[in-house]
Chains A and B, each alone.
Chain A
Amino acid sequence: MPAIKFDPELCASCETVDCLMKCQYIEFAGISDAKAEKLKINAGENSRVLNECLTCYACQEYCPFGNNPFYLLVELQEKKGILPAPKPIVEEQLRMMSPKGRITRQKVRSPVVNMCAFPMLTGCVRGKLFEGASVISGNDIFCNIMWLHFAKNSVIRDRVPKMIDNIMSFYLKDSKIDEMVCFHDECYGTYTSVAEAFGISVPFKPIHLFDYINRRLNEIPDLIKPINEKIAYQRPCSNRLSPETDKILDDIFIKIGAERVPRKHDRENALCCGGVPRAQQRDELADELVEKNISDMLSTGAKYCVFNCPFCMATLGQEVAEHGLMPILVSDLVLIALGE
């Protein structure tokens, strides 16, 4: 397997060190301090960043050169055996999310919507928005991007090509379909950003959910009944891998009459939902993140808290609801606007 696509000279020439200077979880004394740590990472040496990293993916977005700082960091964490979470937790997750060999060949038709390892959300694919869609899901097509949180690039290298092969051989190839809608940012990030950086070839065209929804709304404008509500958006870590899609989400919200309220912790400054730090045994930090997210949302007067990540929704949804906001997935919000 090829090494992570990374240009050390380009990195060394960086004057802003945005990848670390913009980090919301690790403090640096200044650019020189950040640069020193970054150079240590590039040289494969120990750096405190390896231990303190929250694995929020944000540095992937902050890097002005698209130089994959986060993937490189995870690579080094694994090489040095620096586990962000305790070993038994990682081992159990590895088994839980392993391919089960229960996939069966299925004729599909366009649009093919990949629900990844969240078959419980299959009910979200419904109505005019997803008319005629085929849904695929299960551990045998799990995108496996979660291992970036657990210093396990090796698992990504091992499992992702198999998942891609499964998607092709069991669904797309026989049905002569060459594109697939990724319901989750994570899958899209895997088949675009991760695949490119890790040198994994993807024989189909991944379509981001936002791109699909936006195009679909263009096809059925007469069905849209603007909801005219303020919404607070909880941007997930995995959207950092495809930041261009965040602008498409703005288009969607405009089309359905949802006002994306300006939050302190949105867009580039989005904060982690608090889920991953709990795996890292940093519950007090997770509590702080939950509190910051919720007080930020409440200060905007939003009615809905909109998620695109099921894990973020599972982590924050109950808390959000207890504070009077309605937790909802992007696709369900759009369905409301379509009267469904």
Chain B
Amino acid sequence: MNDFIRQLADITGSGFVSSEPEERYLYSMDQGTMSPAEPDAVIMPGSTEEVREIMLLANKHKVPVVPMGGGLVLSGLTRALHGGIILDMKRMNRILQINPKSRYAVVEGGASEGMLQAYLKKHHPELKHSMPDAPPIATLAGNICIHGSGHLSVLGGFHSDMLTGMEVVLPTGDIMRTGSCSISPDWFARAPLPDLSGLFIGWSGTTGVVTKLGIRLFPSYSHNDMLIFVCEDADLMPDVISRLTGTQVAEDMTPWMTPKPEWARGFLHINISYGAHSKKELTFKRNLLQASVKKYSDQKIAGFLPMPPTEKSRFLKIPSPDLVKFADIRKGGGFEYVGAIMAIEHFAEAYRAGLQIARTYNVSYSMGARIIGAGHAMMFFYAYAFNRADPEDIKLAQHALEATNTAALEIGGIPWKSELPAQKQIINKMDQNTFNLMNQIRSVLDPNHIMNPGNWEK
């Protein structure tokens, strides 16, 4: 291994490779409940060419490679389960191109959400991209590869739907492109070609390393506002969501349910964000949203919270600071965020299952969802905070997590960015031919099985 590490250093320079125990420890875990797994080394490539050389070397020596963006996935997907190297992409963080007319950006595989947000604010204030509520150091590539969602997901769907193309280094060292950039200098779309981007999205880093990608940008409005809808009956939520998304004016919709503060316990809220180029247009959009659920406000069983403009500013912050605040509620640095992608009609079942699990395991919870598209799906999340210094607390959170994944699957949903045990649960429920095809694809792309081994295996 020492010789291998020396060869890695020849590729990136010794300053960007480490097999020191400190680095191995830090890279052995994320903030979630999965137990640590140390890599043999960590390497930070600075270019696609360096990634290619690393992959050639790793493939030759059959050394496992775990690609990593921000390392914030919380489900342990960037742990080196079979040792090997963690390929930390954060040095490859350049924003390569902004196309304001066709509204897309091309960035390197380690560029972060926060960097693109800041870059656009400074150089293209008329444009924005869909920010997730992860800390801004989360990478665009990582978030797209896990089918993330964010502040424009009602408008644009999953972040993977906003992908326009990719440059990927395969485990064999081949560099390939997907989408229009494989033919044209422009990274405008994945259509009309066979959609090879799908070979790298949702695979938890088991098929290749994303070194560049194109993503859609959207108009950044000069006028922005938000509403908070509130009701007491979870069974109303699918219809409410359907009506609100049916107006096609919201950019983002995030239901939330939390027992703290006390006034919010038992109520179901939906934050709805929207923007416009003028105040008149903004008011028009608000009226459309309100009219869509007038049936319920007229019955006085639900409605929009009255909020003076000054109180709205915290809700208009992107990313939202609220989840991060909740993450530290138990202190001790432990936070698990379990999402499940499911159809919106299962909202009430998902909510009740979460309440039951929180009661059973006595865990601090916060539940919510992000609506995808015009009510086409939702990412329903259960967030459990725990104290990492308390083994019992960790165990409770782990049990809650397992129970949540089981419940999500029973409801008809699919655990999102699933950790190892949940991957196995999904595989058990998955159509066998689908899983066989996944394995066949992987053996073609990664004949030596070096990419993030341990994931998506029976």
A92-B303 in contact (CB<8A): no
Chain A CB within 10 Å, residue with most, of B232, B262, B263, B283 = B263
> B311 contacts which chain A residues (CB < 8 A)?
314
Chain B CB within 10 Å, residue with most, of A92, A96, A311 = A92
> A96 contacts which chain B residues (CB < 8 A)?
261, 263
How far apart are A323's CB and chain B's nearest CB, in angstroms? Answer: 12
How far apart are A312's CB and chain B's nearest CB, in angstroms? Answer: 9
CB < 8 Å neighbour of A87 from B290, B301, B307, B308: B301
CB of A275 within 8 Å of the partner chain? yes
CB < 8 Å neighbour of B300 from A86, A276, A278, A318: A86
B290-A281 in contact (CB<8A): yes
In whole angstroms, what is the CA distance A319 to B308 when docked?
Answer: 11
Q: In the complex, which residues 260-277 of chain B have their Cβ closer than 8 Å to any Cβ of chain A?
A: 261-264, 267
CB of A317 within 8 Å of the partner chain? yes
In whole angstroms, what is the CA distance A35 to B14 when docked?
Answer: 91
Nearest-neighbor residue (CB-CB) of A94 within chain B: B263
CB of B231 within 8 Å of the partner chain? yes
Nearest-neighbor residue (CB-CB) of A283 within chain B: B290
CB of A193 within 8 Å of the partner chain? no
CB of A7 within 8 Å of the partner chain? no
In whole angstroms, what is the CA distance A95 to B306 when docked?
Answer: 15
CB of B425 within 8 Å of the partner chain? no
> A87 contacts which chain B residues (CB < 8 A)?
232, 300-301
How far apart are B244's CB and chain A's nearest CB, in angstroms? Answer: 15
CB of B433 within 8 Å of the partner chain? no
CB of B249 within 8 Å of the partner chain? no
How far apart are A2's CB and chain B's nearest CB, in angstroms? Answer: 29
A88 and B262 contact, Cβ closer than 8 Å, known pairs A281-B290, A283-B290, A314-B311: no
In whole angstroms, what is the CA distance A311 to B304 when docked?
Answer: 18
B263-A92 in contact (CB<8A): yes
A86-B263 in contact (CB<8A): no
In whole angstroms, what is the CA distance A281 to B290 when docked?
Answer: 8
> B296 contacts which chain A residues (CB < 8 A)?
86
Nearest-neighbor residue (CB-CB) of B290 within chain A: A283
B310-A92 in contact (CB<8A): no
Mask, B213-257, CB within 8 Å of A = 1, is: 000000000000000001110000000000000000000000000
CB of A200 within 8 Å of the partner chain? no
A318-B310 in contact (CB<8A): yes
* A-B interface contact total, Cβ < 8 Å: 66
A92-B290 in contact (CB<8A): no
Chain A CB within 10 Å, residue with most, of B286, B287, B301, B309 = B309
How far apart are A292's CB and chain B's nearest CB, in angstroms? Answer: 15
How far apart are B271's CB and chain A's nearest CB, in angstroms? Answer: 15
Mask, A76-101, CB within 8 Å of B = 1, is: 00000001011111011101100000
CB of A4 within 8 Å of the partner chain? no
> B292 contacts which chain A residues (CB < 8 A)?
none
CB of A279 within 8 Å of the partner chain? yes
In whole angstroms, what is the CA distance A88 to B302 when docked?
Answer: 6
A314-B264 in contact (CB<8A): no
A318-B305 in contact (CB<8A): no
CB of B297 within 8 Å of the partner chain? yes
How far apart are B420's CB and chain A's nearest CB, in angstroms? Answer: 40
Q: In the complex, which residues 239-285 of chain A have their Cβ closer than 8 Å to any Cβ of chain B?
A: 275-276, 278-279, 281, 283-284
B287-A283 in contact (CB<8A): yes
How far apart are A257's CB and chain B's nearest CB, in angstroms? Answer: 29
B230-A88 in contact (CB<8A): yes
Nearest-neighbor residue (CB-CB) of B305 within chain A: A89
In whole angstroms, what is the CA distance A318 to B302 when docked?
Answer: 27
In whole angstroms, what is the CA distance A281 to B303 when docked?
Answer: 7
B286-A92 in contact (CB<8A): no
A281 and B304 contact, Cβ closer than 8 Å, known pairs A92-B267, A95-B262, A318-B310: yes
CB of A287 within 8 Å of the partner chain? yes
CB of A315 within 8 Å of the partner chain? yes
A88 and B232 contact, Cβ closer than 8 Å, known pairs A281-B297, A284-B287, A314-B311: yes
B305-A92 in contact (CB<8A): yes
Nearest-neighbor residue (CB-CB) of B303 within chain A: A86
In whole angstroms, what is the CA distance A95 to B232 when docked?
Answer: 14
> A283 contacts which chain B residues (CB < 8 A)?
286-287, 290, 304
A89 and B230 contact, Cβ closer than 8 Å, known pairs A96-B263, A281-B297, A281-B304: yes
Nearest-neighbor residue (CB-CB) of B266 within chain A: A91
Mask, A299-328, CB within 8 Å of B = 1, is: 000000000000100110111000000000
A311-B308 in contact (CB<8A): yes
> A89 contacts which chain B residues (CB < 8 A)?
230, 303, 305-306
In whole angstroms, what is the CA distance A91 to B300 when docked?
Answer: 12
A86-B287 in contact (CB<8A): no
> B262 contacts which chain A residues (CB < 8 A)?
95
How far apart are B163's CB and chain A's nearest CB, in angstroms? Answer: 38
A318-B309 in contact (CB<8A): yes
Q: In the complex, which residues 298-327 of chain B have their Cβ closer than 8 Å to any Cβ of chain A?
A: 300-311
How far apart are B332's CB and chain A's nearest CB, in angstroms? Answer: 26
How far apart are A83's CB and chain B's nearest CB, in angstroms? Answer: 5
A315-B300 in contact (CB<8A): no
Q: In the complex, which residues 80-132 of chain A have their Cβ closer than 8 Å to any Cβ of chain B?
A: 83, 85-89, 91-93, 95-96
Nearest-neighbor residue (CB-CB) of A281 within chain B: B297
How far apart are B156's CB and chain A's nearest CB, in angstroms? Answer: 27
In whole angstroms, what is the CA distance A314 to B231 when docked?
Answer: 25
In whole angstroms, what is the CA distance A95 to B260 when docked?
Answer: 12
> A314 contacts which chain B residues (CB < 8 A)?
308-311
- Can you name 28 A-B residue pairings with CB atoms under 8 Å? A85-B300, A85-B303, A86-B296, A86-B303, A88-B230, A88-B232, A88-B267, A88-B301, A88-B303, A91-B232, A92-B230, A92-B263, A92-B305, A93-B263, A95-B263, A96-B261, A275-B306, A278-B307, A281-B297, A283-B287, A287-B283, A311-B308, A314-B308, A314-B309, A314-B310, A314-B311, A315-B309, A317-B309
* A-B residue pairs, 5 tightest by C-beta: A86-B303, A314-B308, A95-B263, A279-B306, A278-B306
Given contacts A83-B300, A89-B303, A93-B263, 4 further A-B contacts (CB under 8 A): A86-B297, A91-B232, A91-B267, A278-B306
